[in-house]
Amino acid sequence: MTLTRRLALAAGLILPLSAAPALSQTQVTISHPLPLNSHYGAGATAFKEAFERATNNRYRVSIQRNDNEREGIEAVQIGTQECTITSTGPVGNFVPEVRVLDVPFLFRDTAHARGVLDTQIGTELLARFNSRGLVGVVWMENGFRHLTNSRREVNAPADVRGLKVRTMENQVHMRAFQTLGALPTPMAFSELVPALQQGTVDGQENPIPVIVANNLNQVQRFLTLTGHVYSPAVLICNPGFVGRLNAADRVALQEAARAGAAANRARVTADEQTGVDELRRRGMTVVTSVDNAAFQQALQPGASQIESGLDQAMLRRIRDWRPGS
C-alpha cells in the first residue's frame, strides 16, 4: 500500500477534496526534541524546504523544538500541531505494535535497520498509526544507542549492575536494563540533563548524534559503545492536516518526508563517523572495544520478559530480513 493511499485512508478521505485556497498561506508546525543543529534538525529543515518548494509556498513550515517527545506526539494527535519527528522511545505508548523495533540487538547493523524500515515491514508498521489517530509518514533515524555514566568505566555487563540508568519511557528498554541489574529510571528527554546534573541518575543511553548535539559530555564522564539498541525515528502527522491536503500536496508531503529522512540519515552517518573522536576531545573516557556478545548473553535470561507482548512472528521476519527479501 503506497504512502499516498495510506495517508488517504488515514484521513478518511471519501469526499471530493477541497483544494486549499489558491493564494492563502497555511502554517504547518513540526516539532522535534533536539537543537536545530542535529540529525533531527537536518531532517526537519530538508522536509520544510522540500514541502514549501513543492507547494510554491502555499504552506509555510515552522520548525519548533520540544524536548518532550511524548508531548510532541500528543500535540499531533489532538491537532495543536501538524507534525513531529520523534524517536520510537515513547511511540509504543501510542502505537504498541512499534515496540517490536525497540528490542535490544534486534538489528544487525544500520543497513539491516534501514532495509527493514524502508520495505514491507516498515510500511506495515506505519499503517498501524492510522487506528491511533496518527499518520506515520516516514521512518527516520536516531541511531544505535550507547551507554554513558559518571560513576565508572563500563567494560562488561557486570559493570552495569547497580547503575541508575535513565531510559526513555519505553517498557522494552526498561526491562532490558532491569535484566542487566541496573535501576532503569524512565523520563522524557527534557528531564535528562537536570537529572544527570543532580545525580538523580548515574547514566543514560543515546546515539552518538544525540550525545554530541546536547553536549552530554558536560554531565557524563564515561561512554561505552554498547550499541545495545537501534533507535528508529519517525515523522508523524495529524490525520486532519493530511486529509485537508489535495492529492498533489499529499504527494508533495510524501516526497518532502523522504527528503527529510535522507538528510536525517546522512547526518546520523556523518555524526557517527566524527562523534566519538569529538567526545574524546571534549574529555570523555570512551570504551570502544565492547564484547557485544557478552551483553547479548547477559540479556538472555530476560529475553522472554523483554519480548513479552510483542509480535513474535514480526520479530522473526525482522531477524530473517535480508536485502531483496
Instruction: List contacts with ligand EAX (CB under 6 A).
Output: 33-34, 69, 87, 89, 142, 168, 189, 206, 210, 231
Nearest-approach distance from CB 251 to ligand EAX, in angstroms: 28
Q: In the complex with ligand EAX, which residue's Cβ is closer, 167 or 179?
A: 167
Q: In the complex with ligand EAX, which residue's Cβ is closer, 7 or 279?
A: 279
Nearest-approach distance from CB 100 to ligand EAX, in angstroms: 18
The H or E element spanning position 138 is: strand 135-149
Nearest-approach distance from CB 16 to ligand EAX, in angstroms: 39
Nearest-approach distance from CB 98 to ligand EAX, in angstroms: 14
Which residues face 192 on adjacent strands?
none
Residue type, 87: S
Q: In the complex with ligand EAX, which residue's Cβ is closer, 31 or 238?
A: 31
Nearest-approach distance from CB 270 to ligand EAX, in angstroms: 17
Q: In the complex with ligand EAX, which residue's Cβ is closer, 177 or 189?
A: 189
Nearest-approach distance from CB 285 to ligand EAX, in angstroms: 21
Q: Identify whether the C-beta of residue 84 lies closer than 8 Å to the C-beta of residue 75.
A: yes
Give the CA radius of gyration of the chain: 20
Q: In the complex with ligand EAX, which residue's Cβ is closer, 54 or 85?
A: 85
Residue type, 194: P
Nearest-approach distance from CB 215 to ligand EAX, in angstroms: 14
What's the farthest any 2 CA atoms get from each other in the chain? 63
Angle at alpha carbon of residue 252, lines to 133 and 10, rounded to 5°: 20
Q: In the complex with ligand EAX, which residue's Cβ is closer, 54 or 229?
A: 229
Which residues face 16 on adjacent strands?
none
Nearest-approach distance from CB 198 to ligand EAX, in angstroms: 18
Which string of b and e fits 303-324 if b means at least 16 CB within 10 Å?
eeebbeebeeeeeebbeebeee
At 107, list the grid cell. 538489528
In the chain, how many H helices and how many E strands? 13, 9
Instruction: Give the position of cell 524546504.
Output: 49
Which residues face 61 on adjacent strands?
28
Q: In the complex with ligand EAX, which residue's Cβ is closer, 87 or 185?
A: 87
Instruction: Give the position of cell 520523534.
Output: 86
Three-state DSSP at 322 gives coil
Three-state DSSP at 84 gives strand
Instruction: Give the position of cell 540529525.
Output: 39
Instruction: Give the position of cell 540508568.
Output: 165
Q: In the complex with ligand EAX, which residue's Cβ is closer, 146 or 244?
A: 146
Q: In the complex with ligand EAX, which residue's Cβ is closer, 7 or 234?
A: 234
User: What's the rounded Cα separation, in Å, for the pair 88 and 102?
Assistant: 8
Neighbours of 193 (CB within 10 A): 17
Q: Identify whether the C-beta of residue 217 lies closer than 8 Å to the C-beta of residue 282.
A: yes
Nearest-approach distance from CB 35 to ligand EAX, in angstroms: 11
